[in-house]
Structure 1
């Protein structure tokens, strides 16, 4: 006859057994992309308010995972590593910071702050990954489609695809992150300058 005490002992044994087969929780290292880029003093100045909307991105791009493409048709993530924010927010922050530091707009806003600028920068992330492409070390690829919208006229002023690449010094995650920083710095610099040139 099975008593309550026996059932309790069996349940405890099952819990211990289950704990033994569950995978250990993996520690995740968070990486930031400070993109310490100096604005170009020759950039155009505008009296307009510019709103930078959170970029869009499909699938894993819209996440905090650090993406790697080992083969042309394969997309994976680096284990135990992630961005401090989602990739769209990391990119948005880089562009907003450059526009603010340039002091070339009346105001630079993030979409969602309750105020809408005369111009709105829309971005779609096509690539934000470390790509091996048959090489022994990866090259980081950042490709962003940008549209500048005049909110008053309700039309697109300009659109352009920006692409920046940076080879990693090695295969370690820290080396790959350094390449991400260089590629994003270049892309955000080009996007900020282009935005100011056309926001008039």
Structure 2
């Protein structure tokens, strides 16, 4: 036999269900974890300054470098002694590490001033020379018992028209941390990056056509 609820019974059922729905919604909200506050970091601006050398007439396009999966994200990384990557909690770079490196390096080249025209692969512009490579390290690790910032970049200078490698070289720089936290790591990585960039730019200029 089918029972049909009267309009009064239907109204009472709705009134009974409403508090239960509210309680269910409140319970579901309480199981959602609170978002962890995140501090965003960028590499300190390059301290490289323009030289008195003649400016090269050709242009240079900076590419986003290749990297490992670990370096492909935006976490501030620590390479532990067991070769396991960890990350500073609550800290992120403002961009994925390969893009962060490309953009920072572009500013360093602009500061140096010896290349007349600079662009990136994101702009889609043609240039006689391209700087590509593999970013192998932009992290903190323990060296001789001390937390140290390490930047390592395998650079390729390429003739864009002929698609030929003009020169290749590995660059590496290190800088001890003043404190073992994310802010000190970002600061030390900036110092190491500046030291590496100076050598890299001199190398790129030396291997570019006059």
Q: What's the TM-score, normalizing by structure 2?
A: 0.85
CA gap 1:59/1:43 in 2 versus in 1, 3 angstroms: farther
Q: How far apart in 1 are the matches of 2:32 and 2:81?
A: 31
Classify the secondary structure of the residue corresponding to 1:112. Answer: helix
Classify the secondary structure of the residue corresponding to 1:13. Answer: helix
How big is the alpha-carbon RMSD for the aligned residues of Structure 1 and Structure 2? 2.2
Query: Larger C-alpha radius of gyration, 1 or 2?
Result: 2
Q: How far apart in 1 are the matches of 2:129 and 2:28?
A: 57
Q: How far apart in 2 are the matches of 1:182 and 1:195?
A: 20
Q: How far apart in 1 are the matches of 2:173 and 2:17?
A: 63
Q: Which residue of 2 aligns with 1:143?
A: 152
Candidates 16, 20, 34, aligned match of 2:26: 16
CA gap 1:72/1:23 in 2 versus in 1, 3 angstroms: same
Is 1:99–2:99 an aligned residue pair?
Answer: no
TM-superposed deviation, 1:48:
0.9
- Do the aligned residues in 2 keep the contact of 1:91 with 1:188 (CA within 8 Å)? no
CA gap 1:10/1:65 in 2 versus in 1, 3 angstroms: same
Aligned residues: 199
Q: How far apart in 2 are the matches of 1:4 and 1:138?
A: 63
Q: How far apart in 1 are the matches of 2:142 and 2:19?
A: 53
Candidates 75, 79, 91, aligned match of 1:81: 91
Candidates 157, 163, 187, aligned match of 1:154: 163
Q: How far apart in 2 are the matches of 1:85 and 1:79?
A: 17
Q: What's the TM-score, normalizing by structure 1?
A: 0.89
Gaps of 5+ in 2: 1-8
Q: How far apart in 2 are the matches of 1:134 and 1:105?
A: 39
Q: Which residue of 1 aligns with 2:139?
A: 129
TM-superposed deviation, 1:40:
6.2
Q: Which residue of 1 aligns with 2:200?
A: 191
Q: How far apart in 2 are the matches of 1:82 and 1:44?
A: 39
Q: How far apart in 1 are the matches of 2:190 and 2:162?
A: 36
CA gap 1:59/1:17 in 2 versus in 1, 3 angstroms: same
Gaps of 5+ in 1: none
Classify the secondary structure of the residue corresponding to 2:131. Answer: strand
